[in-house]
Amino acid sequence: MPREIAERRDAIPALGEVFREHGFSGSSLAEISQHTGLGKGSLYHFFPGGKTEMAEAVLDDVTNWFEENVFSTMLDSKHPEGVIRSMFEAVNCYFRSGERTCLVGAFALNDTRDRFGDRISKYFNAWTDALTSALKRTGFSEKNAAETAEDIIVSIQGALVLARSKQDAEVFIRTLKRLQRRIATEPHGV
């Protein structure tokens, strides 16, 4: 049974799970209503822009969570090694050790990308920039930090897809561990 939803923000987690499970196009208002426990009238009261506004709210919520728990700490910390470790822990927690798909990544893979491209780009650019910044402060050269940050994010996203397709969350966990070892042992120059 869905939890009681008294405010717009209370509906966002349930909306996120509907979009993760069915995608944007596959999420009908009936499905959304069932998962949130809200009737169509209530849904439109909270989200007058309909399903598009619901998806925007969910994407903003994901971006805000990552901004608060991952990105800002990597940009501001005087201890970049620690915040990079914390990033891996937060990512593992957020994606439930590979059992939860990346909604932003899923939206980037089909025609939904055209509708929400700015939000999708903002999320991945912020993550890449924050990780690049932290890697540079650990001694990576500018070029190597940018390439390594991109490789890490690509690997995380790919590991989510592979773990889900194989129904084996350990794929994701092993990938995070390999990425952490890579950062610790890779030459930082170039």
**139's torsion region: left (phi>0), alpha (psi -120 to 50) or beta?**
left
Mean of the per-residue pLDDT values for the chain?
Answer: 92
Q: What are the sequence ranges of the domains in the chain? A: 8-185
Size (the chain), residues: 190
Whole-number Å distance between alpha carbons of 132 and 43: 40
Whole-number Å distance between alpha carbons of 121 and 142: 21
Q: What is the pTM of this model?
A: 0.90
- Per-residue pLDDT tens digits for 9-41: 999 999 999 999 999 999 999 999 999 999 999
Residue 4 in this model has a pLDDT that exceeds 70: no
| Backbone CA torsion sign across 51, 16, 56, 160 | negative
Return the CATH class of domain 8-185: mainly alpha
- Per-residue pLDDT tens digits for 70-117: 999 999 889 999 999 999 999 999 999 989 989 999 899 878 888 999
pLDDT interval class at 1 (50, 70, 90): very low
- Per-residue pLDDT tens digits for 110-161: 788 889 999 999 999 999 999 999 999 999 999 999 999 999 999 999 999 9
**Which of these, 118, 119, 127, lies nearest to 69 by C-alpha position?**
127
